[in-house]
Structure 1
């Protein structure tokens, strides 16, 4: 495995986020492109499928990009911008773990959309990213859900706008972070289920091995051995390539990789939700899709303060 996914959205980029305005709310519709680009979803579905076949981390990496994008300046594809002077979101040291496979999956999907004459330069990179994230979930065995569309792309991306929560955050810190995005504790716990995909660098959890009593001792031994031979471990070793509810079952047995994962079970205030999702995958899927929809409304741009980028990496 040549590339890995580092800690997923709990290491999401966070900055000053403007929550959804009434105008932006009105513009988001699941059928926004019905007459503009009627084949949009089929095009992106096919492109992401090809990306995932070429790289086993393309799907999780694309999903992670969506979280990082929405949490900084809102869902405006600013995470995709590459500035010539290096002053952009991605060049913030805390964002260096975002993998090229994810960026490439979005660029390929955008190129596929623009290869359709009816769609060319009419679909925002932000909407391509939102749809690609859904495909990453559904094509990994997770729920297929309708995606609200109609976002415009932002024009600004800076290193200083990126602030990252830590993988050792406690429940209060996690709730404060997600509350800033307009999301509830239930939303946060459901979105945490995205850690059923991908992997994390050993330095992000090694300090827990042998010191954190909430970590299963046998699991700690396995991780010690894993990190002696490679640089990463799967966030969900049970089914690392499948989007399912095993993430929550891992937490029940002290096998949450990151401290910010395991705290969802060790803290009595969130344990009940973890137990419920562990026993009811359908409910987890339902709550996850609702939370993804809410996340997708954060900081949405309109024609007044955004654009439809021709090149996702460069403002027009």
Structure 2
């Protein structure tokens, strides 16, 4: 029997090196002995919060994306600005509209975990696990979350603007943002399906419904009935910047493939939604996901699993923060 052993190690080694090195140190059972109630505490808290405030799931999903795509999944977005670090990531323009519910649930979970197992669970692991649980809770796919991330030692608002796509970008610009981070066009289109839940502030699409051009008050690519409804919802948005509309008018609280169906019918809120449905690089994927929800769920789950281990910090490259909004030590 021992003749087989020389082959076993190279095969295991190849499996190991096929993972990005830092994420290879992560594993699903990371807290099994050090904090055995980790999963239960996360699950119970997100259930209570989501039941009371349905904006929590889309809010945390957006926070997760903003945190991970900027500098890796390291909770750098949770750091508050201070005199020592006056421009933390949280205060970047693109992060100012992030949901208070999302920050609130992370704090609640962190407080509960600090009572159960002090100094053990990182804030970045809380974000990753609770995002997955919330996606599942509102009808989305399950995907495994490997654990063992450390929290960042840096939080810099200027890095956010360089990393995040915006609603005013061309498809070339959006694709470039993702491919620069080693995400494919297919992964980008699948991740955009997160817009099936939540809402968008009126200012992000006001150019499509007010004074669109010299010849048309509204964007002719927008469904006229939707445009009429949005003009009513957003009529005072310049006085009240919190005014918003659901991304998916048909099933706003359910994670499904309706976003892609909406895009093809002119029911997407953003110009970038419309472009996604007409650009030859993305249209076929939008059509696939619109008619095959399982294909969307499968690709979304894979993309989220990949994103959740993107540029994670392990070992001495990070720390387990005592509080999610501040570093354990004042940075030099």
Q: TM-score, normalised by structure 1?
A: 0.89
Alignment length (residue pairs): 295
Give the conservation status (yes or no) of the 8 Å contact 2:81–2:90: no
Q: Higher mean Cα deviation, 70-79 or 166-175?
A: 166-175
CA distance in 2, matches of 1:270, 1:297: 25
The equivalent residue for 1:69 is: 67
Equivalent residue for 2:267, pick from 255, 259, 262? 255
SS in 2 for 1:269: coil
The equivalent residue for 1:48 is: 46
CA RMSD for the aligned pairs? Answer: 1.7
CA distance in 2, matches of 1:309, 1:75: 14
Give the conservation status (yes or no) of the 8 Å contact 2:67–2:74: yes
- 1:1-150 aligned within 5 A: 22-85=20-83, 86-116=86-116, 119-150=117-148
Shift of 1:303: 1.4
Shift of 1:22: 4.1
- 1:229-308 aligned within 5 A: 231-308=243-320
Give the conservation status (yes or no) of the 8 Å contact 1:175–1:188: yes
Runs of 4+ in 1 over 6 A off after TM superposition: none
CA distance in 2, matches of 1:38, 1:282: 32
Q: Cα deviations across residues 241-274 of structure 1 (Å, max 9, x unaligned)?
A: 1111100110110111111122111112211111
Provide structure 1 residue ranges, at least 5 long, that are not aligned to the other structure: 1-19
CA distance in 1, matches of 2:109, 2:62: 16
CA distance in 2, matches of 1:177, 1:110: 31
Q: Cα deviations across residues 9-34 of structure 1 (Å, max 9, x unaligned)?
A: xxxxxxxxxxx994312212122222
Greater RCO (CA < 8 Å, at least 6 residues apart): 1
CA distance in 2, matches of 1:239, 1:146: 26
- 1:150-299 aligned within 5 A: 150-163=148-161, 164-209=164-209, 210-228=217-235, 231-299=243-311
Provide structure 2 residue ranges, at least 5 long, that are not aligned to the other structure: 1-17, 210-216, 238-242
CA distance in 2, matches of 1:83, 1:233: 30
Shift of 1:94: 2.5
Q: Cα deviations across residues 206-231 of structure 1 (Å, max 9, x unaligned)?
A: 11124433212222112112212662
Q: Higher mean Cα deviation, 72-81 or 168-177?
A: 168-177
Shift of 1:237: 1.0
The equivalent residue for 1:12 is: none
Give the conservation status (yes or no) of the 8 Å contact 2:78–2:325: yes
Q: Cα deviations across residues 27-71 of structure 1 (Å, max 9, x unaligned)?
A: 121222222222211210111111112222122111111101111
The equivalent residue for 1:17 is: none
Larger Rg: 2
